[in-house]
Structure 1
Amino acid sequence: MGGPGVQDVGEGTEPLDPDRCTTREEFTALLNEARHRAGLSYAGVERRARSLPPRDGHQPSLARSTLSDMLTGKRAPNKTNLEIYLLVCGVPEKDLPRWMEARRRVWEATPEPTRKPAPTYHLRTVLVTAVGALLLGAAVGAGGLSLLSPDPARGSAGPLVPLEVRTHDWTHWSPDPRNETRAGEVWPGRHGFVCWTVGTRYTWHDATGTDRTSSDTWLRLATDYYGNRGVYVSDLAVATEPEAPKRVLPQCD
């Protein structure tokens, strides 16, 4: 069996061809075939991912839940996880663009057959400080602001505060994030937040790799893009000024 970057193809075995994929089912089947040809179990994929050299300053890893979602077609694999998985399975790096294009074609160019319904919210009004109102961009009268309360049928407790996420970022199961704690993603736009807490200090880098700022404040999201509940994102993805989210969110229990 070859190491990462060299795919083992037995004599008479056709090379894997992502260009032929036209459906999500075909793409998912091809991902599973890559693992089978590499002779790897889920645990083997996890171990080999951790042995890859760092990429963009981070040690690659693949959580078991991420693998399960990817290899059952439950959710679209994000590009970073897909790249790590393919390298682990011995797909040559020069072939990665073809796989990424296949991913885009089957997951992004066509609508999902069934989408999880968006959370249902009920409006209620409370008073917050003027600073908080400006932060949320929803000042009403003398500091009045609409907060969102979750639908009781969804099992979420307490009011949600809508904050504007200004950049794409990872969500994590823990406020002490590592690659293996990644839950999903959050995209720019308004999202419901529950509370804030203190965790591992996170440093924000700009496009040139320069440190811009850092914070140890983490915000708990009601739900992220993948439907994960109770996940965390750094306040740097939200805050327009230091400590601002703390002024409108309660501290997590």
Structure 2
Amino acid sequence: MSTDPGGGRARRTAGEAYDAAVDQVTRHEELVRLLAEEFARADVSLRELQTRADKAGGTRLPRATCSDMLAGRRFPKKAVMVAFLRACRVPEERLPAWERAWERVRIAHLPAAYRTDRTFHLSGGVESATATPERAPTEPVQAEPPQTEPAHMGPNPTESERAKPARARPARFRGVLRRRLLPVLAVVGALVIIVAGAVVWKALNGVTDDGRAFGPGGSSRFTVKIDPANDGVRLIRRLDANVPWQRAAISVDGVRAREWKPLRGGTYGWLDQSVDIPAALTTGRSSLTVTNTFVSSVWDFNEFFYLVQQKINGAWSTADSLDVGDPRSEAAHGYRITGETFHGTRTFDYPPSARHIG
């Protein structure tokens, strides 16, 4: 049973946690991660987002632009980001926090000279500056070679000849190619290496799992087997850490035991979280009925896999496991969920050095 009938306080707490997560954004990759999270929760295609924006009028959302924004390849304009969030059905009262986050990241991305030597301000969502437009920080400023008049052979040219455009000089053309083309080729080569490395990393470390999630007023319940000779039980849960600040109360056989503490979130996607259940609630019992009740989250509380460990004679060993999303495993453990907000499959990485369950 929910500790907050109607979920009112839970929704307010979730909203506060949501604003807190957005308000902590200071880097481009953090902004990209939260935007990708909203896109995942919207559960729509880029084509649908484009259609929604077209129907709403105003700023358009081309699919290529959204794809570049979600991949972190391009820093979005503020109007594009806001239109994207509206198309994802983010409530209007949440948008000011996103706009502030955009401004912080935008200012942080400016070259140091631009931030210190020039006047820059953000007013009403419009950028203005008293200097010339900024040059991309990754594009080095090249000094042009001095222009000299070539030596003329024969008589001085006439006025009509002077008006004719000079022919391209092969040596200068090769210099331009070296200065402008080679850096581009170097960047393209680096991107190919990075993408290839990411594909290899995903193949070696990616974990695919199906699971479920529940929101305010929701809960999940399941029964696991243990040895009555145990001296304590440990629950380990695989979660999608792209949803930060997940918090839920844990009850064992109807008695409040512990709580899943909120985590800020993970860079790789998957995280494992463990909670120790007091021996007073587990010793002498051959099974436990565990209930998780939603307390707060930016969006919802998700669960993909549970590993149950027990302590016997001072050593920990595996007692049982529940694969959430697997019909046979759920049926064997009497799994039930209320207030479900998600049921599907995710593929993420664990941190490189993490040992994980499942």
Q: TM-score range by the shorter chain?
A: 0.3 to 0.5
| TM-score relative to the length of structure 2 | 0.29
Between the two structures, name the one with larger relative contact order (CA 8 Å, sep ≥ 6): 2
Superposition TM-score, scaled by structure 1 size:
0.40
**Structure with the greater alpha carbon radius of gyration:** 2
Give the structure with the larger helix fraction.
Answer: 2
